[in-house]
Amino acid sequence: MSGANAVREDRLWQRHADMAKLGGTPKGGVNRQALSPEDAAARNLLASWAKARGFSIFTDMIGNLFVRREGSEPAALPVLSGSHMDSQPTGGRFDGMYGVLAAFEALEALEDAGVTTRRPVMAVAWSNEEGSRFQPGAMGSAVFAGRNKLEDMLAVKDWDGMALSDALADTMKAAPAPMREGNPGFPLDSYVEVHIEQGPRLENERKIIGVVTGIQGSRRYIVHTEGEEAHAGTTPRANRKDAFAAATRIAAAMYEATADADDTLRFTIGRVEVHPGSPNTVPGKASFTIDMRHPQDVVLEAHEKKLLDIVAARAAPCIARIDRVTAVAPTDFDRRVIDLVRAKADTLKLSNMDMPSGAGHDAMHIAKLCPAGMIFVPCERGVSHNESENATPADLAAGARVLVEVLVELANR
């Protein structure tokens, strides 16, 4: 029996159902915030499954949880696969969790099929990918890859002022695992992450497997406008310095400037604040956030220039400035891993297409360390970060089958 044949659709589906109970919401989604009691419960469940199969587990100082299936050469660099178990507050059952469970299913399938690999094959649940409780997101993989400092991240506080280090200590108490001391991170041979697409392209194109070529880059900004508070009833237009009116002029021009013909650039204003926030006072201050994404850095650069020009040109009679908060460069996955994913999908006769990832994933950080790639499967109507997120058992199993074959090939190189 090959590894792919040993993937069990029913087992993989049941594992999703079991995990969905931890932080499950009445609408069928999950609320499993990073380093919460629900997160700890998920860690314990994964660990119990791992122990039952005789796999070893360990965690690191940022809370990444690893499961290891030994290879015939234990000293050889491991092949790693996984994703995350935390969720958005109104998250779905599959975002992240599927990548962890597919990786674990791959380990089980190798065990069931009696496949020996030269390299160890490992599954990982990266800590705090969503970044909804503790920011930034993709924190566990970023620290693992040396992109963020452990001490800085341990000091991050959540919305209640709780330090991440305290939440992590609570989680480790509730879900104990052998600790790999010191700075997180160790050498890897390669990394493959499986994920639901979180967009509608595979479904629209009627393909089962997305061969992910890279992850688009993103830049975030905050625009601040400042005018002057005034009486809403008595102040004529000519005397107003309405900070919100300036913000809307700037925003409208930005929507226009970022509407590219091929619909690749993503531009979102997701949060607006108006001060003092009184119905009968002309706003003296306003701010809004911008999230802009594209697979090519030069395009992001060019549009950033446009945003700066708009802020300068449209603020009067108010003043305005734009601050860049973060810039994440696009990720190009390793050509050999991309080709391997496509070849294995073809061998398994699974329809597939090459595509970039619209969302960020832990793989963007790990791709800086070793050859990396991703495998997507469809999710219903492309809906994600939503309690109604859904995927079919057959598609989830298909992704896991491709993963097993890819991992075996990588682990025997």
H/E segment holding residue 108? helix 97-113
Distance of CA 300 to CAs 214, 307, 314, 327, 398, Å? 16, 10, 21, 10, 35
Radius of gyration over every alpha carbon of the chain, rounded to an integer in angstroms:
23
Q: Which is nearer to Zn ion, 3 or 356 (CB)?
A: 356
Q: Which is nearer to Zn ion, 78 or 96 (CB)?
A: 96
Q: Which is nearer to Zn ion, 95 or 158 (CB)?
A: 95
Question: Residue 97, by phi and psi: left (phi above 0), alpha (psi -120 to 50) or beta?
Answer: alpha
Q: Which residue is nearest to Zn ion (CB)?
A: 96
Whether cis (ω within 30° of 0) applies to the bond prior to 276 is: yes
Q: Which is nearer to Zn ion, 131 or 146 (CB)?
A: 131
Q: Minimum Å distance from CB 384 to Zn ion? A: 8
- Contact footprint for Zn ion (CB under 5 A): 95-96
Token digits of residue 218: 């993103």
What count of Cα atoms within 13 Å lies in the side-chain half-sphere of residue 413? 16
φ and ψ at residue 63, rounded to 5 degrees: 95, 10
Taking alpha carbons only, the member of 152, 129, 160, 108 closest to residue 39 is: 129
Q: Minimum Å distance from CB 210 to Zn ion? A: 14
Q: Which is nearer to Zn ion, 96 or 184 (CB)?
A: 96
Q: Would you say 115 and 409 are in contact if contact means Cβ atoms under 8 Å apart?
A: no
Q: Which is nearer to Zn ion, 95 or 226 (CB)?
A: 95
